[in-house]
Amino acid sequence: MNQRRSDRVFAVGALILITVVWIVSAARTRADLMPIVRQTVPEAGHIIEDDSGLYAARTDGAETALIARIAIGSADGYGGPLRLAVAVDQSGTVVGVAIADDKETSAWMERVLGSDLLSNLTGKKYSDEFILGDDVDGVTGATYTARALAEATSAGSRQAAVAFDLPIKEPDPPRIIFGIPEIVLILLFTIGFVGHQDRFPYTKHAKWLSMITGLIVLGFVYNSPVTLAYITKLVLGYWPSWQTNLYWYFLIGGILFVFTVDNKNPYCQWCCPFGAAQDCMGAIGGAKSRTPIRFRRLLIWMQRLLTLAAVLLGVWFRNPGVASYELFGTLFELLGSSVQFVALGLVLVAALFIKRPWCNYLCPIRPVTDLIRLIRQTVKERWQKATLKTPAA
C-alpha cells in the first residue's frame, strides 16, 4: 500500500472509530444527581424531585417546611458544559452549591476548589450579576472554570427563584469578550498569512516576531495555545457561546480558514507558544532535524496513534480535559505533576539539539493538521476530477 493510500485508509478508519465511540458514549445512562443535590442542603430531611426537574429540600417531622429549592445550573467551562447544583431559599439567596458534572482539566479545577470561589457564591442573591472580576472574585489561572461556575450559579439560582415566584429581571445579553488575546491572535494570523507569501522578503524576521509574540502573549501571559481539548470539544459538539469565547472561535476558525485558502499551517510554525519555546532552545543549542529516515514513518504513525488514543479517551469519557497530555500548562503556568515537570525538562533539553522534538514526535496537533490537509487535498482532487468530466456547456 502506498503512503497516500495508507494515510487515507487510516483517516477514514479513525473517523469511523471516533464516530462509533461517540455514539456509544452518548448512549450511556446519565448519572444520578441526588447525592450531589443533597450536598447543597445537608440539613434537609428529605429532597424530592418535581416534574420541572427542580428539587425541593424539606425538613423532616410532622410539619415539613420547605428549606430550599435546588436547580441544576449549566454554563460553558474550559472543556465543555459545567453543571452545578444550586440551592436557593425562599428569599432568593444561594444557600449551597455543589458541582454535578464538569469537563475541566483537573489542575484548573483543583485551583478553583482551593480558592474561596464556591464559598463566596453561597450567600449571593439570584438577582446579582455574577460577573467575574465585578461582583465575583476570579481565580488566577483558571478564568474559564471560575466564570463557568459563576454563570452556572446565576442560571441555577434564577431557575429556583422562578419556582418561588420571585420577580425575575430579563438577563442582560452576554457581554462580548474581545480583548488583547483576540487582537494578538488576529495580528499573528495576519503576519503568518502575509509571511507565507512567496514574494514577501522578510519571512524569517516575521516568523521570529510572530513566534516571540506568541510565546509571551499566548503562552506566558494568557496560556492559550491550541490543545487537543479544543479539538475534542469540537468533536463532542461542545460549542461554547461565541460572545465569551471569541478567542476559541478565532483560533480554530483561523487555522481552518488559512488551511482552506492557502494550504499552509498558520499556527504551528508561526505562533504556537510551545513551538516558539522549543525554537528558542534550538537557537541556543543549534538544533537540527535528526530523525533517521528509516524511522521517520514509524515515528509519524506512533504520533498519530497516540493522538487517536487520546481523542478516543476524551470522547469515551465525554471530557476533553481527560484527553490532553500536553505540557503547555506545565511550562506557562508551572502547573502539573512531577512526571510532567520531568517530561518538560527532557523536551526542553532535547530541543537544544533536536529541532522541535515535541512537535515532531509527540504533539497531537500535527496529526490533526495532517488530517485537515488530507481532507482538503482529497476534496480538491475529487472536485477537479468531477469538473473535468463535466462536458463544457
Partner 1 sequence: MDLTGGPFWFLMGVIFVLVAAGFHAFARDRGWVVTWWKALLAVIWYGVFCTSFFAWGTLIGENEAAAGLKLFLIGIFVSIVYGVALIRLMAHSAK
C-beta of residue 72 within 8 angstroms of C-beta of residue 63: no
CB of 154 to partner 1, least distance (A): 40
Residue 51 CA to its chain's centroid (Å) = 34
Minimum gap (Å) between residue 358 Cβ and partner 1 = 16
How many CA within 13 A on the CB side of residue 202?
A: 7
Amino acid of residue 150? A
| Contact status: 286 vs partner 1 (CB under 8 A) | yes
* Footprint on residues 307-336 left by partner 1 (CB under 8 A): none
Q: Which stretch binds partner 1 (CB under 8 A): 48-56, 138-146, 232-240, 344-352?
A: 344-352
The least CB distance from residue 342 to partner 1, in Å, is 8
User: Exactly one of 257, 301, 325, 341 binds partner 1 (CB under 8 A); which one?
Assistant: 341
What separation, in Å, do the N-terminal and C-terminal C-alpha atoms of the chain show? 39
- Does 345 engage in binding with partner 1 (CB under 8 A)? yes
> Shortest approach of partner 1 to residue 285 CB, angstroms?
5
The single residue among 81, 138, 285, 336 that binds partner 1, judged by CB under 8 A, is 285
Contacting residue, 23, 168, 183, 349, with partner 1 by CB under 8 A: 349
Phi, psi (rounded to 5 degrees) for 127 = -85, -5
CB atoms within 10 A of CB 197: 11
Instruction: Provide the minimum distance between the beta carbon of 345 and partner 1 in the complex, in angstroms, as a whole number.
Output: 5
When asked if residue 284 is in the footprint of partner 1 (CB under 8 A), the reply is yes
Please answer whether residues 153 and 121 qualify as being in contact, where contact means their C-beta atoms are separated by less than 8 angstroms: yes
CB of 363 to partner 1, least distance (A): 21
- 87, 348, 359, 363: residue in contact with partner 1 (rule CB under 8 A): 348
Contact flag: residue 173 with partner 1 (CB under 8 A): no
Q: Which residue has the cell 519555546?
A: 277
Helices (H), the chain: 3-26, 34-40, 106-113, 117-121, 143-163, 180-196, 203-213, 228-236, 246-262, 273-285, 293-316, 320-323, 328-332, 338-350, 357-361, 365-389
**If binding means CB under 8 A, how many residues of this protein chain bind partner 1?**
9
Note whether 339 binds partner 1 by CB under 8 A: no
Q: Residue 141 CB, nearest distance to partner 1 (Å)?
A: 19
Contacts 24+ apart (CB under 8 A), 314-318: 314/228, 314/229, 314/232, 314/235, 314/236, 315/18, 315/21, 315/22, 315/25, 315/232, 315/235, 315/236, 316/21, 316/24, 316/25, 317/25, 318/25, 318/26, 318/80, 318/103, 318/236
138 binds partner 1 (CB under 8 A): no
Would you count residue 347 as binding partner 1 (CB under 8 A)? Answer: no
Site map 79..118 versus partner 1, x via CB under 8 A: ----------------------------------------
Query: Residues in the site for partner 1, rule: CB under 8 A?
Result: 281, 284-286, 341, 345, 348-349, 352
